[in-house]
């Protein structure tokens, strides 16, 4: 005796168009809300090398300060003064008192005084989580 299996009409009428629309909407949402920080990467800064360097992990609300070979400081890719940087750091600590972090990216051929000055500004503003970025390997090897 043969049994006839009746196929459901629900699977035959399943439309993938709404699912594709949702995927595209999610893709557009993440592209629009992503924060691209290219202005910090535009400067031509050669980072000094260190053998125990760890990759830079970008956390929310961190401030990146660049120091070029001449000792000039940059904030968000724009040249700034020590007074303006101190004012911005103090305002950032007021907005984010417990976890404000600063990353100092200094050129390898820059003198260390501007870096120490930026560290001193961090201490005066109340930023305890600051670090100097280096690259892996001996000098000359990225």
Domain boundaries, the chain: 49-136
Mean pLDDT of the chain: 79
Three-state SS annotation for 61-112: CEEEEEECCCCCEEECCEEECHHHHHHHHHHHHHHCCCCCEEEEEECCCCCC
2 φ, ψ to 5°? -90, 135
Q: CA–CA separation, 64 vs 49, rounded Å?
A: 18
Three-state DSSP at 118 gives helix
Share of the chain above pLDDT 70, in %: 72
Structural contact between residues 105 and 64, judged by C-beta atoms closer than 8 angstroms: yes
pLDDT of 33: 76
Tell me: pLDDT of 54 over 60: no
Domain 49-136 sits in CATH at 3.30.420.270
CA dist list (Å): 90 to 44, 68, 78, 82, 122: 28, 23, 19, 12, 9
Three-state DSSP at 114 gives helix
Three-state DSSP at 13 gives coil
Average pLDDT in the 69-86 region?
Answer: 90
pLDDT of 81: 92
pLDDT of 58: 42
Dig out the tokens for 7 from the structure. 């196929």
pLDDT of 141: 47
């Amino acid at each position: 005796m043969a049994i006839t299996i009746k196929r459901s009409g629900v699977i035959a009428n399943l439309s993938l168009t709404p699912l594709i629309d949702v995927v595209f909407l999610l893709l557009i949402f993440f592209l629009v809300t992503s924060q691209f920080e290219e202005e910090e990467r535009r400067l031509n800064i050669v980072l000094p090398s260190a053998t125990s360097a760890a990759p830079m992990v970008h956390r929310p609300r961190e401030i990146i300060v660049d120091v070029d070979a001449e000792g000039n400081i940059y904030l968000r890719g724009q040249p700034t003064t020590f007074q303006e940087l101190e004012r911005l750091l103090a305002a950032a600590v007021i907005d984010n008192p417990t976890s404000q972090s600063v990353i100092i990216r200094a050129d390898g051929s820059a003198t260390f005084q501007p870096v120490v000055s930026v560290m001193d500004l961090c201490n005066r503003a109340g930023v305890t989580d600051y670090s100097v970025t280096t690259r892996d390997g001996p000098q000359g090897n990225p």
